[in-house]
Amino acid sequence: MKTSGNSNGNIGVTSGSPCLPDPAREALAAYHARFGVAGTSDPVTVVWASGRINLIGEHTDYNQGWVLPVAVDRVVALAGQPIHGPKTFLYSTHHNEIASFFSDPWSLTDRRPGRLRFFARYVRAVLAQLVGIPGAARTPPFRAAIAGNVPVGGGMSSSAALEVAAATFAAALGGPALEPMATAQLCQRAEQAGVGVEVGIMDQAASCLGRPGSALLLDCRSLAYEYVPVNLPGIALAAFDTGVPRTLGASGYNDRTYECGEAVAWLTDAMRADEPERTVSALRDITADDLARYGATLPRTLLRRVRHVVSENARVGEAVAALRAGDAARLGELLYASHASLRDDYEVSCPELDAAVEIASRVEGVVGARLMGAGFGGSALMLVREEAVDALRARLAWEYRAATGRSGALHICHVAGGPQTVTMPPA
Ligand code: GLA
């Protein structure tokens, strides 16, 4: 068995090691069960890519601000082989369904995905972006099985993990092999085109550039990044899935991106007389002083949106300082402040997320909690002392159901690395 990691040197499996993560094993078994062998001498390729937890920096990426996500040990895996023929076939273990589409460049770049299920739509969107690279190598049609343990619709970027896994799989089959950041950008475009949501770069960047033990501090304007060690001994990273499905397309996500653009236009206008030299191309350019000076000229709703983005960007900087100082208590305060801002100013929370954060905040040993990702459902991040995990789980099981009538799920996660590829001889 041969393995390779991304160019960060994140190599989690060594040659001959049997340690594939569970979803990779599941995808491999499902591939053999559903498709048998391709009848070629090509190796069976197995890839996996991580979902993410964003420590802080929410709804800042498309405002060209800063984010601080980690890739986690919840992955989406693909296992399969190239085939001869016009179509690509995908089997999803989650849906127990096979989907197929034509793999020639003309069909792939036809914008209408037809009635394809989302899992196939994301993979097809990635392949469509790859064929759009001038002079790029062609990815052959293939058959593959998909499995994963990133909660679907759970706010941990299962779709970004699938896109990054698909791009990694295509590269392993002889398609274009891009640098990690270029892969992230390509997958971001695939998500935008595939589901019509103007997502930022955070999720795909976290999945492509994750590093075990570190958070990714990413400047979403320049795309410069650095790694910040997550050194919080005795603290567990938990994601509480509220059980409220969040589909970005159906949410107010695009409304928020639009409102932020509106706010930039208003502020540019307001500043013109006093500061004619000033250029504001995104909310990232707005400071707390600007807000004090020009905020009153904005409509109330836009003022609240800007206040969130400006304060959240500042919290990212403070969170980095807290992490560097190993100050879990300060980091926790910043998480609660981020949640309040997302709930009150950005208005992307929901009763279930608020209930989960509130319940967690009353459990001894929880140092901080907040909604994570786009919001409108999905998951809340909770930082909790390891010895308090069982108490947190029990309290959530009881009080969350009593408050919302729903049952959620607490996932303990670990900081992981970028995408991985393993090749195996054909069976
Ligand atoms: C989703 C998007 C990201 C980011 C977050 C909010 O996860 O995919 O780009 O905008 O929401 O921070």
Angle (deg, nearest 10), helices 158-172 and 180-195: 120
Average pLDDT over residues 291-297: 95
Residue 137 CB contacts under 8 Å (≥ 6 apart), including other chains: 174, 175, 176
Average pLDDT over residues 336-355: 97
Q: Return the best residue to mutate from 54, 60, 61 for the ligand 1 pocket (most ligand atoms within 8 A of CB).
A: 61
Which of ligand 1's atoms lies nearest the C-alpha of 197?
A: 8
Is the distance from the beta carbon of residue 58 to the nearest atom of ligand 1 less than 6 Å?
yes
Nearest CA to ligand 1 atom 3: 200
229 strand-pairing partners: 214
Q: Which pLDDT tens digit goes with each residue over 69-81?
A: 999 999 999 999 9
Distance from C-alpha of 231 to C-alpha of 291, rounded to nearest angstrom: 34
Residue 261 CB contacts under 8 Å (≥ 6 apart), including other chains: none
For 20, half-sphere exposure in the C-beta direction (CA atoms, 13 angstrom radius) is: 26
Which of 74, 349, 376, 352 is CA-nearest to residue 237?
74
CA of 104 to the centre of ligand 1 (A): 31
Q: Which pLDDT tens digit goes with each residue over 124-160?
A: 999 999 999 988 899 999 999 999 999 887 889 999 9
Nearest CA to ligand 1 atom 8: 199
Residue 218 · residue 228 · CB < 8 Å: no
Sign of the dihedral through C-alpha 402, 405, 407, 413: negative
Amino acid, single-letter form, for residue 409: A
In the prediction, which pLDDT does 113 show? 59
Is the distance from the beta carbon of residue 342 to the nearest atom of ligand 1 less than 6 Å?
no
- Using 50, 70 and 90 to split pLDDT, how confident is the model at 4? very low
Q: Which pLDDT tens digit goes with each residue over 364-391?
A: 999 999 999 999 999 999 999 999 999 9
Average pLDDT over residues 96-120: 86
Is the distance from the beta carbon of residue 202 to the nearest atom of ligand 1 less than 6 Å?
yes
In the prediction, which pLDDT does 195 show? 78
CA of 61 to the centre of ligand 1 (A): 7
The pairing of strands 97-102 and 142-148 is unpaired
- Using 50, 70 and 90 to split pLDDT, how confident is the model at 19? confident
Which of ligand 1's atoms lies nearest the C-alpha of 57?
A: 12
Distance from C-alpha of 267 to C-alpha of 116, rounded to nearest angstrom: 42
Distance from C-alpha of 88 to C-alpha of 120, rounded to nearest angstrom: 10
Q: Which of 73, 203, 290, 354 is catalytic?
A: 203
**300, pLDDT greater than 70:** yes
Percent of the chain's residues with pLDDT above 90: 83
Which of 44, 16, 18, 23 is CA-nearest to residue 32?
44
81 strand-pairing partners: 143
Work out the angle at residue 205's Cα, subtended by the Cα atoms of residues 204 and 208, and round it to the nearest 5 degrees: 85
CA distance from start to end of the chain: 12
Distance from C-alpha of 304 to C-alpha of 284, rounded to nearest angstrom: 15
Which of ligand 1's atoms lies nearest the C-alpha of 58?
A: 12
- Domains of the chain, by residue range, sit at 12-229+417-424, 235-413
Distance from C-alpha of 14 to C-alpha of 2, rounded to nearest angstrom: 8
Residue 281 CB contacts under 8 Å (≥ 6 apart), including other chains: 64, 264
Is the distance from the beta carbon of residue 61 to the nearest atom of ligand 1 less than 6 Å?
yes
Is the distance from the beta carbon of residue 79 to the nearest atom of ligand 1 less than 6 Å?
no
Label residue 174 left, alpha or beta by phi (over 0 means left) and psi (-120 to 50 means alpha): left
CATH architecture of 235-413: 2-Layer Sandwich (3.30)
Active site residue 354: no
Dihedral angle over CA of 368, 373, 374, 376, nearest 10: -50
CA of 200 to the centre of ligand 1 (A): 6
**334, pLDDT greater than 60:** yes
Q: What dotted CATH number matches 12-229+417-424?
A: 3.30.230.10
Nearest CA to ligand 1 atom 1: 374
